[in-house]
Structure 1
């Protein structure tokens, strides 16, 4: 009898472990279902990152898969294309550079865009890879004035029959229907610099009309520019990919690959106050997924990696919850390098209900006539906020699900500080 009870208990534990990690939480859903495979790389992809390079080739059919490499965005396209071709071929691909780039020396760009032999090579490939550089060069070359060239149609034919379109940095920026064209200062975007043809432009749209994509996301604090664009353009779902990391999207599934992770931004329940004189947002939902984590856009469920499941569950509602952090820091530069995800991890693994941060630089530059304008970021816990921690990879690795974010415009009084007791 006792043995039977033990068997039943073990079976129940196995069944529970097999359930999606977020099955009890409200889903992050979105109408995303791709015809082909989009592999979005956050930039700074190292050539020894075999996990990402191999998955790119495997997704296109494995060794022998033909790839067309476009270094259209690159400052030195011949060199960039050669490096990418070598990295793909090292994983067994048959990659070839397509000389379609405005900065490619000695190339007739318009002739190559319509060259029958090149078009046939691209259309017959199993995968297409876009390099980094300046994303405006990609859209201006392949989609001038919003109209697709014959070369872009050939690329779409690869994707529509189930092939791979991969891109790093600039090659990732063009994946959604709208992209950042030239918006290096995230805080300026929050202050209102969001002009079509200047800061933003039309992308190529491989991720469909409902998912916005940005890259170099944590390193460059780009949560600050993603939120205003999503609000202005009506996106409910955003994907920010970190450097040397990738999101592999196939059908309605996403898998995270590489060194770090991705941020999922959900504005389905978010609201704004039009009476406030500045960008503001309430009840955005943020989730941070790391390598090995998966997300289904139809069900909205996130399944964490086996490594995280073997680690430590962080759930304030769980019996015996013991937070690692006890302090409640104020983040002075929430748009700093990895600051937003560090704040999310800290809040989740603490007993506190909220954590505050500030986005502010105090400089008057360009069209900015409001140097005293800043933004308060209020991260707080809500229904379904939980996560996992693992030190198995040698660092402090968190997966964080469903924290809430409010953004409020604030006026920063200056000087920020004065000398103590009048000393200088």
Structure 2
């Protein structure tokens, strides 16, 4: 097979058409994508801000971005307000011919189509663009400018709405809204913001409705660069290829089976004649010592959540083929009880997984994975179980066994009070200490043992770290000792390291199973700071509130945004965050709940504890402040637009001695908590600061419907202010 460079030269010599199809949020510093557009356009480009609701501002910003990369650039004044005249303007037609290449910004793709097609006929401006394209000019577009490039065009709708409700013709109704694009890209259907906004479901529904066999899901800050019948991927992430040629469907339309899914990464390329992805020169096979997973994911993340599908694929790429070749993710529509499940399989000899390991972090390519999408209406009991995310279930659950979540380290300020609260619950029993989250586990364990002793508690270092967990898991005497403990303290630190220790290579380690046995006997699990977050099924692993509001969820710590990963899963009631006040983490907790379709968030304050029983359904507050309960049950969320919008999020301060019953939503008050309203105001002020720090127009934080101990939060934060 000839390399991409040879095929590209061949396509260029044959006069192949050139496209830059960009998945949205093109950052001004994306040298790779701007450099490729410069090469393909000869450094001259005409910008069309036609899709935008603020074309003058967007046009000026986009022009400045191109100028900074050495382009000769002008902005074309053609938008919905003047299209009836401008689409026939001879001056604009002359500019198109003079520049030879065009770029369409983000916004609403319907505005581009409506401006360039009048009464169903192509306007002279569109004819001029097609003529320039035919002469070898570049047609480029980001977000809406990408969506309009295929023939059948997606106009709106989320993946879950599309799978649950199918097609709709009403923009205000749930479902998939379809239209007709301009057809510059003739190889299949295009969708954008693809991995970030979890759009596999809607692309499959759209492809089936249009009879399209191939779909191209392009992620943010990433471009599919087409030259004739070959294309290369450049950017922050990559492109998902959806192949429905071999698909099978059932008579009721509930399942799409046997389709193929590939992920083509930065530097990889696609032969568009054969519709086949190929790895770039930097990619190689995964070495045996690099195999990281031997079992399916422990958590139950929203499969249509940000980067959830990408993470699932990457996990299979790094999976041991002798033990782990299949995984799945789900998304539940709580209003209808319909559950969507996506299963991925990496069969030997059919699929390929490759990686590169540059200094910037792991890159992966996944080719020809077998996939299926199944839509199922769950019974009321199964839907309640699915929504409840019941957590780690390898052992029987003891409803009286407590999980003690500490909002800050017991070694810091107020730590003595926290440990005295632990003593009241644990008594004089022996506490096993695991400092696997720490970069210096021996020192950290010793510090915690001294703190326990000062509080009148007996502790023992179990010696479990990421380096020793296999050895300890193979020692039946040590495992039995752990299983007989009265309590286990998982020290705070890096929650990712803790999860990777407990779920070693993706499997429940022997140590974790022994802890579960102890907990099933009634032993308390104590988790301060980062370890508290790790006990959730869905874990916040990194990122600030400001990053969460600006970028949403990201796949790993190498990219800005809120990092969501699987947790250990002992707490099935919601997503936990800690150090809520001083670290200003209310914003990221709200974003995490919204993006992961999780009803409850539990924000534990410093010098405070949450004692969770009944598998997390009963939460009692201890310590100085207590915790803040985030409830999204009645909320209105907008996750698929260029702004993060969360309205009617209920915030309740659960003060010391209070109990929250998550099964009923009721908070049982022990005594009046005068500090609670002040705490809400403080958290809201911190959140407003994070929103304002973005400097984005339209950002808004509002507390309303306030009681003495609760309030309703409205939060709006533009993520892509103009999305050029």
TM bucket by the smaller chain?
0.7 to 0.9
Q: Distance in 2 between matches of 1:244 and 1:322?
A: 28
Q: Specify which of 379, 393, 406 is matched with residue 344 of structure 2.
A: 379
Q: Distance in 1 between matches of 2:308 and 2:100?
A: 38
SS at structure 1 position matched to 2:146: helix
Q: Specify which of 246, 262, 265 is matched with residue 239 of structure 2.
A: 262
Does residue 189 of structure 1 match 2:173? no
Structure-2 change in CA distance of 1:145 and 1:112 (3 Å): closer
**Relative CO higher for 1 or 2, CA cutoff 8 Å, sep ≥ 6?**
1
Superposed counterparts of 1:18-417, under 5 Å: 35-61=16-42, 63=43, 65=44, 67-102=45-80, 108-183=82-157, 185-195=158-168, 198=171, 199-208=177-186, 210-274=187-251, 276=252, 278-309=253-284, 313-314=285-286, 323-329=291-297, 331-351=300-320, 352-363=324-335, 371-382=336-347, 383-412=349-378, 413-416=382-385, 417=388
Query: Which runs of 5 or more structure 1 residues have no equivalent in the other structure?
Result: 1-17, 22-32, 364-370
CA contact (8 A) 2:20 2:223 kept: yes
Q: Distance in 1 between matches of 2:20 and 2:286?
A: 30
* Deviation at residue 146 of structure 1 after TM alignment: 3.3
* Deviation at residue 406 of structure 1 after TM alignment: 0.9
Q: Distance in 2 between matches of 1:34 and 1:339?
A: 39
Structure-2 change in CA distance of 1:307 and 1:335 (3 Å): same
Structure-2 change in CA distance of 1:300 and 1:142 (3 Å): closer
CA contact (8 A) 2:216 2:242 kept: yes
SS at structure 1 position matched to 2:179: strand
Q: Which has the larger radius of gyration?
A: 2
Q: Distance in 2 between matches of 1:97 and 1:72?
A: 10
Q: Distance in 2 between matches of 1:410 and 1:350?
A: 28
Q: Distance in 1 between matches of 2:276 and 2:383?
A: 46
Q: Distance in 1 between matches of 2:188 and 2:63?
A: 29
**In the alignment, what sits opposite 2:583?**
none
CA contact (8 A) 2:262 2:277 kept: no
Q: String of CA shifts for 1:253-283, please: whole Å, max 9, x gaps.
A: 0100111111111111111112x3x442001
SS at structure 2 position matched to 1:181: strand
Structure-2 change in CA distance of 1:409 and 1:197 (3 Å): closer
TM-score (norm 1): 0.82
Structure-2 change in CA distance of 1:250 and 1:57 (3 Å): same
TM-score (norm 2): 0.49
Let me know the Cα RMSD of the aligned residues.
Answer: 2.4
Aligned length: 371
Q: Distance in 1 between matches of 2:337 and 2:292?
A: 36
* Deviation at residue 145 of structure 1 after TM alignment: 4.4
* Deviation at residue 35 of structure 1 after TM alignment: 4.6
